[in-house]
Each structure stands twice: as structure tokens, then as C-alpha cells.
């Protein structure tokens, strides 16, 4: 099969790399969040089963349950995809002109999907998917006349869908979707167990307080409601940012596919190339939902394609959500060690000598996701800079990226279980937050500054030594956080 043109080959390689990193980063954060909270809720239940001799037995059981649930969800997702495909009534493509255009685009992109026709002449969609591990492009019957009447528009639309397959968008999105479903199920189960425990505790305290001569210091119903509200808020914010990250990525993929299609078809964005998600909504609703719909507004897509580089404007929502998840994973790993800075310092100093594996596991949980997510963010920013063809590495973008990092981190702090722990146990004394969580806040501050700096310098990758600069920038935030964490540990050991 002939190789794709150099520019398309480079862009496809970069997009495949971003999809690979994103799949693993989302998988790691979803597994960590699900296992952490579900295992914590299972801990009191499993303690009665005689599993105390197994280190971190509750996390081991939670991880095994997650693996089982993921297999079931993946099988269900595959069955649902096959059912939708066959229910559309696909027919093998017999149109010689369409087959010839499809073969030409497939050769340029290095992928050979199966072409099908589906629906009636009212069907004007072109859908790319992976069915039974085979790449498939289903072309609506209403689109077929375009091949003869407006071949450039038809080639653009077909190249857009085949570009999704060549970049492996479908496979990556399916893995991410499966993990999001599993994470939602596990967080829902964790909240249900926690709510049951809150209600049971409140009921026990009410019965105790109703006895003669017993003075109740606080209302157990109010305490249970506040506890349940804090847990529900924390879980809701996590899922909200996971969904926002998915939408931002899907929107960026549409622009990437537009850029590849325009480059292959040698044409501009056609006026009717895509049926927008916003066709059936009012302008007011469209303005509210515009950042979250999968397909950006056609006029915006046309303007981005007209610039000749759809990678110039990376979606800021992506960087905000990634900053939230990065800082959240730092918080999650510290929670595996202890609930407060002093407790974590004492446990680390003790566990490094008695049970170093328990400490190493917590570090690996955060480190695995941090490496993947950091490389994903720098790679996304570098992809924009490299394809602009100009050297844009400067501090001019530092305020923008710093604002994105601060915003994502602020949302994390507001939903952090560690912060809520301090506020609830210290009777809402905000002054105690720094004393109890100084290590968490210090690591987050280092992460925000170094990440914003690395993102702002991503334009250096457009220089002749771009690959070397990108590798350096990808590891700069990682090394900074590792040095900060090691400094804190050494401070405790040699205090």
C-alpha cells in the first residue's frame, strides 16, 4: 500500500500518539479513582471476612471487581455497536465512482475501510466506526449523488471520516467510554454505600440521644446530610470534569479530521459538509451548549480550515480539565498514604523502613497518570506550535496556560476530600487547611507553575531541534514535582 504524503504521515503519527496517551491516562485515572473510593467503602465490610493479612486487601478486591466490570462493559459496548450497525441495514457499496474516491483517500491515509451504503435518500450522514475489529465507513444513500454533482465536497466528507479511522479515534474513544462507564458505576456504588452508612449512623445516634438524661451535642441528621452532600459533590465534580475532558477532545478531533480532509481533497470547508449537533436547537441554547457539543459550529470549523492549520487553537477546556485531573491524582495518591500532612509525613518516614511497597504503590498510582497526562498536554500544545511553521516559544502564552491550570486546580481544591476533611473536622477553620495539607498544596503549586511554563514554551518544538525540545518540556514538570516530593520526604527523614 503506497505511503501517505509526508505531512499527512506526520500528523497521523502525532494524532495516534495523542490517542494512545489519552487512552492510557484516562484508564489510569478512572481505575485509581474507582478503586480508591470503592475499596475504601468496602474496607469495613471485608474486614469481617478475615482478609486483614493481605496488604491493602480492600484495594486488591476493588481492582479485581473493576477488571471484571470493565470486561462486561466492553463486551456490551461491542454488542451494542454491532447491533446499531446491522439495524441500519448496511449494503455493500456498488457505486464505482464512490469506490474509486474512497480507494484514493484510503491510499493517502494508509487505511483501507469497508464501504457500505445505508438508509434511504433522506439519510445524509457519513459514519465511521469499528465493527468486529474492522474499520467501516457507512455512507447514507442521500449523500451518494454528491459524488457526481459535487465531487470535492463528497471527497472532503469521506476523507474526514476516514481520517478518524486512520488516527484511531474510534478505538481510543471506545476505550475511554468504557472506563467512564465503569468509573460512573463505581462512584455511584461508593456513594450508595457511604449514604447507607451515614443514614445508619444518624439513626443510631438518634436512638441514643432519645434516651433520658442524654444530651446531644449536635444534630446527627444534619451531620449525615452534610457528609452525604460533601461526598456527592466530590463525585459529581469528578464525573463532570471527566465528561468535559471527553467533549473537549472530541471537538478537537473534528478539527483535526477537517484539517486532514482539506489537505487531501485540496479544498476548503464545504458549507454543508457536516450536519451540526445544533440544527434543532435555538440560538440561545446553542450559545450555552456550544463548548460541550461534539461538533463545533460549522462556521468556526470553516474559519479554522481556512487558516490552513486546524491545530493552532487547542481547546482551553482540555487544559483546564487536564489540570484538574492532574492535581486530583496528586491528592488521590496522598490520600492512599494518610489524611493529613503530619500523618502522611509520619507514615512515610515509618513505611520507608518497615513496608516500602505500600508507599511505592501510592507513588506509582500518581506517577503513572502524571507522566501520561503531562506528555499528553505538552504533546497537544506542541502539535499546535509545530504545525504553525513558526517559532512561537515565548512567555506570551504563559498567562493563558497559567489561568487554565489555576482554574482547574481551584475546582479540584473545592472538591477535594482532603480539604473537606480539614473543614469538617476543624469546624470550618480555613486557617487549618495549610497546616493540615501543606504537602498537597505545595505539590499542586509546583505543578501549576511548571506546567504553565512548559506549555507556554511548547512553540520551541517548531524549531529544527523540535523533538529534543518536546522531550525536555514533557519531562520538566514531572521532574519538578518529583524533586519537590523528594525534598518533602527528606525533610521529614532528617528533621
For residue 197, pLDDT over 80 is answered with no
For residue 109, pLDDT over 70 is answered with yes
Q: What is the pLDDT of residue 76?
A: 92
Residue-wise pLDDT for 363-382, tens only, equals 666 677 778 788 888 777 77
Q: For residue 152, give the H/E element and its range.
A: helix 151-166
Q: What is the pLDDT of residue 51?
A: 62
What's the whole-number mean pLDDT along residues 302-327?
A: 71
Higher-confidence residue of 59 and 274: namely 59
What's the whole-number mean pLDDT along residues 276-295?
A: 54
What's the whole-number mean pLDDT along residues 209-226?
A: 59
Share above pLDDT 70 across residues of the chain, in percent, rounded to a whole number: 71
Give the C-alpha separation, 345 to 485, whole Å: 11
Q: What is the pLDDT of residue 339?
A: 73
For residue 492, pLDDT over 70 is answered with no
What's the whole-number mean pLDDT along residues 456-474?
A: 68
Q: What is the pLDDT of residue 472?
A: 79
Residue 116, helix vs strand vs coil = strand
Residue-wise pLDDT for 1-39, tens only, equals 445 455 667 778 878 888 888 888 888 888 888 887 888
What's the whole-number mean pLDDT along residues 407-424?
A: 80
Residue 51, helix vs strand vs coil = coil
Q: What is the pLDDT of residue 94?
A: 85
Give the C-alpha separation, 331 to 93, whole Å: 53
Give the C-alpha separation, 303 to 269, whole Å: 8
Give the C-alpha separation, 445 to 424, whole Å: 24
Residue 327, helix vs strand vs coil = helix
- Residue 388's Cβ-side half-sphere holds a number of Cα atoms within 13 Å equal to 21
For residue 198, pLDDT over 90 is answered with no
Q: What is the pLDDT of residue 226?
A: 67
Q: What is the pLDDT of residue 72?
A: 95
Kindly report the average pLDDT of the chain as a whole number: 76
Largest distance between two CA atoms of the chain? 91
Q: What is the pLDDT of residue 387?
A: 53
What's the whole-number mean pLDDT along residues 382-388?
A: 62
What's the whole-number mean pLDDT along residues 56-75?
A: 88
pLDDT band at 218 (very low <50, low <70, confident <90, very high): low
pLDDT band at 67 (very low <50, low <70, confident <90, very high): very high
User: Which whole-number Å values give the CA distances from 372 to 99, 309, 431, 459, in the listed order?
Assistant: 39, 26, 34, 20
Q: What is the pLDDT of residue 278?
A: 42
Residue-wise pLDDT for 286-313, tens only, equals 555 555 566 666 777 777 677 665 555 5
Higher-confidence residue of 48 and 83: namely 83
Burial class of residue 281, CB neighbours in 10 A (0-12, 13-18, 19+): middle
Q: What is the pLDDT of residue 279?
A: 45
What's the whole-number mean pLDDT along residues 349-357?
A: 59
Backbone angles phi, psi at 55, to 5 degrees: -60, 130
Q: What is the pLDDT of residue 281?
A: 47
Residue-wise pLDDT for 34-59, tens only, equals 887 888 777 777 766 666 666 667 77
Amino acid at each position: 500500500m503506497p505511503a501517505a504524503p509526508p505531512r499527512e504521515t506526520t500528523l497521523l503519527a502525532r494524532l495516534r500518539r495523542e490517542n494512545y496517551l489519552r487512552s492510557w491516562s484516562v484508564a489510569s485515572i478512572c481505575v485509581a479513582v474507582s478503586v480508591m473510593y470503592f475499596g475504601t467503602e468496602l474496607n469495613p465490610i471485608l474486614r469481617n471476612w478475615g482478609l486483614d493479612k493481605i496488604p491493602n486487601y480492600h484495594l486488591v478486591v476493588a481492582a479485581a471487581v473493576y477488571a471484571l466490570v470493565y470486561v462486561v462493559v466492553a463486551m456490551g459496548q461491542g454488542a451494542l455497536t454491532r447491533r446499531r450497525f446491522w439495524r441500519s441495514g448496511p449494503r455493500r457499496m456498488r457505486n464505482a465512482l464512490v469506490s474509486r474516491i474512497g480507494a484514493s483517500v484510503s491510499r493517502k491515509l494508509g487505511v483501507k475501510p469497508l464501504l457500505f451504503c445505508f438508509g434511504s435518500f433522506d439519510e445524509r450522514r457519513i459514519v465511521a466506526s469499528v465493527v468486529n475489529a474492522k474499520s467501516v465507513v457507512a455512507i447514507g444513500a442521500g449523500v451518494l449523488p454528491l459524488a457526481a454533482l459535487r465531487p470535492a465536497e463528497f471527497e472532503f466528507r469521506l476523507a474526514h471520516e476516514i481520517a478518524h479511522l486512520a488516527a484511531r479515534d474510534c478505538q481510543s474513544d471506545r476505550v475511554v467510554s468504557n472506563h467512564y462507564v465503569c468509573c460512573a458505576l463505581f462512584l455511584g456504588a461508593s456513594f450508595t454505600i457511604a449514604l447507607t452508612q451515614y443514614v445508619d449512623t444518624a439513626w443510631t445516634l438518634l436512638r441514643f440521644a432519645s434516651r433520658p438524661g442524654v444530651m446531644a451535642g449536635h444534630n446527627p441528621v444534619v451531620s449525615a446530610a452534610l457528609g452525604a452532600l460533601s461526598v456527592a459533590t466530590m463525585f459529581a465534580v469528578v464525573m463532570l470534569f471527566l465528561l468535559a475532558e471527553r467533549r473537549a477532545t472530541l471537538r478537537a478531533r473534528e478539527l483535526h479530521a477537517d484539517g486532514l480532509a482539506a489537505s487531501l481533497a485540496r479544498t476548503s470547508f464545504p458549507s454543508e459538509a457536516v450536519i451540526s449537533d445544533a440544527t434543532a436547537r435555538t440560538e440561545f441554547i446553542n450559545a450555552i451548549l456550544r463548548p460541550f457539543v461534539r461538533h463545533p459550529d460549522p462556521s468556526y470549523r470553516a474559519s479554522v480550515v481556512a487558516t490552513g492549520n486546524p491545530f493552532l487553537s487547542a481547546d482551553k477546556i482540555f487544559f483546564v480539565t487536564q489540570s484538574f485531573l492532574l492535581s486530583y491524582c496528586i491528592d488521590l495518591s496522598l490520600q492512599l498514604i494518610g489524611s493529613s500532612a503530619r500523618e502522611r509525613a509520619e507514615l512515610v518516614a515509618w513505611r520507608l523502613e518497615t513496608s516500602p511497597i505500600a508507599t511505592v504503590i501510592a507513588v506509582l498510582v500518581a506517577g503513572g497518570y502524571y507522566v501520561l497526562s503531562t506528555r499528553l498536554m505538552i504533546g497537544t500544545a506542541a502539535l499546535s506550535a509545530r504545525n504553525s511553521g513558526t517559532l512561537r516559544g515565548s512567555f506570551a502564552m504563559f498567562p493563558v496556560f497559567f489561568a487554565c491550570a489555576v482554574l482547574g486546580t481551584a475546582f479540584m481544591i473545592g472538591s477535594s476530600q482532603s480539604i473537606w476533611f480539614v473543614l469538617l473536622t476543624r469546624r470550618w477553620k480555613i486557617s487549618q487547611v495549610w497546616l493540615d495539607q501543606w504537602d498537597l498544596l505545595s505539590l499542586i503549586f509546583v505543578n501549576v507553575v511548571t506546567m504553565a511554563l512548559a506549555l507556554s514554551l511548547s512553540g520551541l518544538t517548531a524549531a529544527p531541534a523540535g523533538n529534543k525540545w518536546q522531550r525536555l518540556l514533557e519531562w520538566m514538570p514531572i521532574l519538578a514535582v518529583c524533586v519537590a516530593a523528594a525534598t518533602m520526604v527528606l525533610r521529614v527523614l532528617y528533621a
